[in-house]
Amino acid sequence: MIAYGENIKVFCGNSNPEFAKTVCKELGLELGNGMVQTFSDGEVAVSLNETVRGADVFLIQSTCKPVNNNLMELLVMIDACRRASAGRITAVIPYFGYARQDRKAKSRDPITAKLVANMITAAGADRVLTMDLHAAQIQGFFDIPVDHLLGNPTFVKYYLDKFPEDQYNHDDFVVVSPDVGSVARARAFATKVHMGLAIVDKRRQKANVCEVMNVIGDVKGKTCILFDDMIDTAGSLCNAAQALVELGGAKEVYACATHGVLSGPAFDRIEKSPLKEVVVHNTIPVPADCPCTKIKQLDVAPIFARAISHVHGGTSIADLF
């Protein structure tokens, strides 16, 4: 149980209630008595059944599928708390949707991540707490403080426990970035687990479709760990795994990513791919009837609970990194 002060309230929407309950259990709190419903025409209705006047309120809501519904729920919850005179409102967004639309890739493109940041701020949020944004600069899209947690330490512990250095030669392991854009993220992870680094160079033809070109680095006969921030349709991931085995001669391929979006054909692709195991965090819930046997979830609710405790207490969250 984590120590916390008085007058703290935690509420959640419908995106990941089990995650919110686990966070509250870690904090030693009861989940706030609130209700988030949808009218027959699709409108979101929020009812807070306890006072939040002057309270330090934390609203837990991932903006995952259905993205627009969950985002609207978050905005209406923020507005409800603001109008109920909450002392401070922190939007706890384990997975921040629209993060991939963070720049103008071509003429007349919107920068939707900035638009969403503006909406959250305008609704009345005083602070945002999130994990592994697709692009770190999205923190600057907000005009309010953003605490950006990292999923890296959880994966480091998992793989060092799975492949301890006293039993495995880490020279036979390689961390692989599935694209050039994720190299910095993969390099930081590789340094902490004392493994080499390789890159899968790919050329994306259109959204959610990519063509693998070649493997940069020595992966022949080695165990590879593909490392990324999210898995959506799993096309890039499975193509990268295929390339590592067929072009690079890798012995085994594992994968991990903070956010398991897992939309469309993702489950089927992963099940049929050369991947031995895919590890994701529970920032987005994986269905209980998940048809893929290779997917494993790690719990990051304790990290968010500690962060909430630090934010509430006004102390540094540096120790979480």
Determine the Cα–Cα distance for residues 288 and 277; give it in Å rounded to an integer: 18
Contacts of 311 (CB under 8 A, 6+ apart): 58, 90, 127, 129, 147, 317
Contacts of 144 (CB under 8 A, 6+ apart): 121, 125, 126, 127, 128
- β-pairing, 44-48 vs 34-38, is antiparallel
3-state secondary structure of 3: coil
Q: Is 201 left (phi over 0), alpha (psi -120 to 50) or beta?
A: beta
**In this structure, what token pair is assigned to residue 218?**
């020595």
- β-pairing, 295-298 vs 277-281, is parallel
Beta bridge partners of 177: 199
Beta bridge partners of 60: 12, 92
CB 91 within 8 A of CB 117: no
3-state secondary structure of 12: strand
Q: Is 211 left (phi over 0), alpha (psi -120 to 50) or beta?
A: beta
DSSP letter for each residue of 172-223:
GEEEEESSGGGHHHHHHHHHHHT-EEEEEEEEEEETTEEEEEEEES--TT-E
- β-pairing, 146-149 vs 127-131, is parallel
Is residue 202 flagged as an active site residue? yes
3-state secondary structure of 298: strand
List the catalytic residue out of 202, 222, 272, 294.
202
Cite the active site residues. 202
